[in-house]
Amino acid sequence: MAVIDAPVAARTSREVNRQARTAWGLTTPALALMFLILLVPVVVAGVLSFTNYSLGNSSFDWVGFKNYDRLLSRSTYEKMFIATFTYVVVVVPVSVALGLGAALLVNSLGRIGDVYKTIYFLPVMATLLAMAIVWEFMLHPTIGVINQTLELSCGTFLEAIRFFGNGCADGFPLWLGDRDYAIWVLCFIGVWQGFGFNMVLYLAGLTGVHRELYHAAEMDGVKSAWERFRLVTWPALGPTTVFVVTISCIRAFQVFDTVEAFWPQGGGPNKSTYVMMFAIFEKGVQQNLIGIGSAITMLFLVFVMFLTLIQRWLVERKVHY
Amino acid sequence: MAGLSIRSITKRFGDTEVLRGVTLDVADAEFVSLVGPSGCGKSTLLRIIAGLEDPTSGEIEIGASIVTGTRAADRNLSMVFQSYALYPHLTVAENIAVPLRMRSLSAAQRLPFVGPFLPGAKEQRTEIASAVQNAAEMLEIGALLDRKPGQLSGGQRQRVALGRALVREPAAFLLDEPLSNLDAKLRVQTRAEIAQLHRRLNATFIYVTHDQVEAMTMSDRIAVMMGGEILQCDAPSVIYEDPNDIRVAEFIGSPKINILPVELGHSEMTLFGLVLARVAEASKAGVYHLGLRPEALKLTQAEPMITGTVAHLENLGSEVYAQVALADQTARVTLRATPAERHSLRLGAQVSMSFDLQDALIFDVDGTRQRRVEVALSNEREVA
Ligand SMILES: Nc1ncnc2c1ncn2[C@@H]1O[C@H](COP(=O)(O)OP(=O)(O)OP(=O)(O)O)[C@@H](O)[C@H]1O
Ligand SMILES: [Mg+2]
């Protein structure tokens, strides 16, 4: 037996080797592309974040953690973090909640639901840059629709409310030019633009809810819509929610075009809307400070990575769905 | 516990009429099976009884009150769904507890963090826990209480779904093909469990199935549905031995009943030209269907009534079924033989059979049972 077995074993191991070589050969192009396109830029950015390189310079100096140190000590960057986190903390929950609410309402409608779906999805499809111009008109302090509408309230009972009272006396807010309001306007537009997308994701999630579960809930004595939502809809939407929240977070961290359109110079009144992406653009591209730009990019990547890890952990915890 | 009565229920989906005037009375503590081929409207009827679907017309009465306008949650019925419909994020114990929690805890007591500390909540919760424990032990899923439905086999899920329905004491239980996804062994076992449960709880059951063995073995009465109507609702033995309609006779019984064409003349009945019996009373002459169960046919040497060759054999061990292609006819008949007779049944072998006319069922061409003709035939034999 052994006499026969030995060559067979040798042949199989040679066979396995050959297969493995072919497999690696076939994967190489994909691997090479992945390294070249995805990983190398990240590594390059990481390396550059420790230098004072500027595009066009023939050489650079290693500066160690100075770029990162600056990020954590300068007040400009403090404002950057405040603006970014305010935006994320406001836009993510509001756009997720609105998206869910809209999806539930649209889902409960029949034909007309499609009309609503299209309308809510319009801002997602429209370019934000084009829409920003419309918003800029509407938010104009004197000739904008919004302040003109607000002025209609002057002389009515609404003046009893402080906001309207002050507005009628001293003029309504400058909106985009007001450092107290600018970030909230930015948030509002972010929600307006983003919740349609979340709604579509939730609508897709809702089609996956087993219809018979609602009937089972009814037979089990569930009478209110709220209980039905808690017992059937919300748990079934768990995986969708994890995904929607992560996507919304990443999109919120990436907000840039609105800021660029409204405040091309310097990130809003008193840097109140100086969000990370804009900072990267300003430092790295406009001012050619590649080192600091790369440092912000690395920080941004860390946040996004962190979010993705949380998402994976949540999804894996719910594996028994 | 309560009886149920279903009065001329019709249901239309657009232009298709799914139920055409179904009427059925179910007594308190009765076990009624609804059987019928796929798509005949069994599930639809059950869902109308449950209140998950509105009938186009007709009334449902549970315990002496009409519930047609009442929503499902207020009808106090339990239902097992064809697809289990377990809540995937809840454990087995939580799944079974849902109907109790929803009905015996107030909305405030059900709140996630505050609820357990409200007055009265603690006693209620221990009561629910012990009820769940009892139901789980009854169905032998006590060891699975902490698992999620996704971690269970089909049969275990089945029993969880049953547990969720049986943990309460509703007016009636509605089971929609609850054993359809089980393997043969588990099916027999769970069938026995359900029948036992019915005896112990003494509850009203409506049991939908397309498996006639389940219906025959478990029910007090079987309602045979076809094309949106109930053709007959009677005890299993009556349905089998004394069907009113040829469709009932053909649906119940496995292998299927043999149907042979017979001709009734003025004074005699003939089968393939052979005179079966003489009739004194002038019954309506014409073509009739003669229904013969496989066990009514006997192998014989003397005076054969029909002959043919064996075309197919099925040996089940305790009995043998032979399909016999009749001589000079396209029809085949199925014959049940004892293992002792097996030696004479070989593929291609010639066999002769006879039967007792008393075992035959006679239907007219429309399929309605003709008891008067049968009586006339048997009277004649007594005279002779
Ligand atoms: N929502 C609906 N819209 C239109 N037709 C329907 C609807 N629900 C059921 N039907 C039709 O009603 C008929 C009866 O359906 P039902 O589900 O009651 O059948 P069933 O007897 O339970 O069959 P099975 O044994 O396959 O479960 C079918 O022909 C089906 O196509
Ligand atoms: Mg069905």
Please write the tens of the pLDDT for every residue from A175-207. 888 888 899 999 999 999 889 999 999 999 999
Q: What CA–CA distance (Å, rounded) separates A211 from A217?
A: 10
Ligand nearest to the CA of B175: 2
The residue nearest atom 4 of ligand 1, judged by CA position, is B13
**CA atoms A59, A60, A61, A62: torsion sign:** negative
For chain B, the straight-line distance linking the first and the last C-alpha, in angstroms and rounded, comes to 55
Give the CA angle between residues B59, B61, B67 to the nearest 5°. 75
A67, A73 Cβ separation under 8 angstroms: no
Residues with CB under 5 A from ligand 2 (ion): B 43
Q: Which residue's entry shows tokens 């003669």? A: B290
Contacts with A221 from chain B: Cβ below 8 Å: 73, 99, 102-103
CA of B40 to the centre of ligand 1 (A): 7
Q: Check residue A4 and give its pLDDT.
A: 52
List average pLDDT for each run of 10 residues in chain B, which is 384 residues long.
88 93 93 92 93 93 89 92 90 93 82 77 87 87 91 86 89 88 79 86 90 89 93 94 93 90 81 75 78 90 86 89 86 89 86 87 90 78 57
Decide: B40 in ligand 1 pocket, CB within 6 A: yes
Ligand 1 pocket mutation pick from B11, B40, B225, B230 by most atoms within 8 angstroms of CB: B40
Q: How far is B184 from chain A (nearest CA, A)?
A: 26
One DSSP character per residue, A19-85 reads HHHHHHHHHHHHHHHIIIIIIHHHHHHHHHTTB---TT-S---B-TTHHHHHHHH-HHHHHHHHHHH
List the single best residue of B80, B89, B164, B176 to mutate versus A (max A Cβ within 10 A). Answer: B89
Q: Which residue has the higher pLDDT, B270 or A62?
A: A62
In one-letter notation, the amino acid at residue A157 is F
CA of B79 to the centre of ligand 1 (A): 18
In one-letter notation, the amino acid at residue B241 is E
CA of B41 to the centre of ligand 1 (A): 5
B190, B179 Cβ separation under 8 angstroms: yes
Q: What CA–CA distance (Å, rounded) separates A63 from B194?
A: 78
Q: What CA–CA distance (Å, rounded) separates B92 from B143?
A: 10
Assess B99–A contact: CB distance below 8 Å, yes or no.
Answer: yes
Q: Check residue B343 and give its pLDDT.
A: 83
Q: Check residue B283 and give its pLDDT.
A: 66
Work out which ligand 1 atom sits closest to the CA atom of B13: 4
Looking at the DSSP bridge assignments, the partners of residue B268 are B278
Q: Check residue B282 and give its pLDDT.
A: 58
* Mean per-residue pLDDT of chain A: 88
Decide: B228 in ligand 1 pocket, CB within 6 A: no
Q: Check residue B93 and give its pLDDT.
A: 94
Decide: B39 in ligand 1 pocket, CB within 6 A: yes
Assess B107–A contact: CB distance below 8 Å, yes or no.
Answer: yes
pLDDT tens-digit map of A114-140: 898 889 888 888 887 888 888 989 998
Q: Do B102 and A238 touch (CB under 8 A)?
A: no
Average pLDDT over residues A279-306: 91
Q: Do B52 and A215 touch (CB under 8 A)?
A: yes
Q: Do B73 and A218 touch (CB under 8 A)?
A: yes
Q: Check residue A1 and give its pLDDT.
A: 45
Q: How far is B218 from chain A (nearest CA, A)?
A: 24
Ligand nearest to the CA of B38: 1
Q: What CA–CA distance (Å, rounded) separates B191 from B196?
A: 9
Q: Check residue A2 and give its pLDDT.
A: 47
Interface of A with B (CB under 8 A): 210, 212-213, 215-224, 227, 231-232, 235-236, 238, 318, 320-321
One DSSP character per residue, B203-265 reads --EEEEES-HHHHHHH-SEEEEEETTEEEEEE-HHHHHHS-SBHHHHHHSSSSPPEEEEEEE-
Q: Do B107 and A227 touch (CB under 8 A)?
A: yes
One DSSP character per residue, A137-182 reads HHT-TTTSHHHHHHHTTTTSGGGGSHHHHHHHHH----GGG-TTTH
List the single best residue of A209, A215, A219 to mutate versus B (max B Cβ within 10 A). Answer: A219
Work out which ligand 1 atom sits closest to the CA atom of B14: 4
B332, B311 Cβ separation under 8 angstroms: yes
Q: Do B85 and A215 touch (CB under 8 A)?
A: yes
Q: Do B87 and A231 touch (CB under 8 A)?
A: yes
CA of B181 to the centre of ligand 2 (A): 13
Ligand nearest to the CA of B210: 1
The residues spanned by each domain of chain B are: 4-246, 256-378
Question: pLDDT above 70 covers what percent of chain A?
Answer: 96
Q: How far is B31 from chain A (nearest CA, A)?
A: 20
The residue nearest atom 20 of ligand 1, judged by CA position, is B39
Looking at the DSSP bridge assignments, the partners of residue B307 are B352
Decide: B42 in ligand 1 pocket, CB within 6 A: yes
One DSSP character per residue, A78-106 reads HHHHHHHHHHHHHHHHHHHHHHHHHHHHH
In chain B, whose CA is at the least distance from the CA of A238?
B89
Decide: B13 in ligand 1 pocket, CB within 6 A: yes
Q: Do A321 and B164 touch (CB under 8 A)?
A: no
Tell me the CATH architecture of domain B4-246: 3-Layer(aba) Sandwich (3.40)
Assess B112–A contact: CB distance below 8 Å, yes or no.
Answer: no
Q: Do B102 and A220 touch (CB under 8 A)?
A: yes
State the pTM of this model. Answer: 0.80
The residue nearest atom 17 of ligand 1, judged by CA position, is B43
Q: Do A224 and B72 touch (CB under 8 A)?
A: no
Q: Check residue A187 and give its pLDDT.
A: 94
Residue A318 banded pLDDT, cuts 50, 70, 90: low
Angle at which helix A182-207 crosses helix A75-108, to 10 degrees, equals 40
Q: Which residue's entry shows tokens 């009429």? A: B17
Q: What CA–CA distance (Å, rounded) separates A49 from A47?
A: 5
Assess B108–A contact: CB distance below 8 Å, yes or no.
Answer: no
Average pLDDT over residues A47-66: 87
pLDDT tens-digit map of A76-129: 899 999 999 999 999 999 999 999 999 999 998 888 888 988 898 888 888 878
CA of B223 to the centre of ligand 2 (A): 15
Q: Do A210 and B148 touch (CB under 8 A)?
A: no
Tell me the CATH architecture of domain B256-378: Beta Barrel (2.40)
**Global ipTM:** 0.82
Q: How far is A240 from chain B (nearest CA, A)?
A: 14
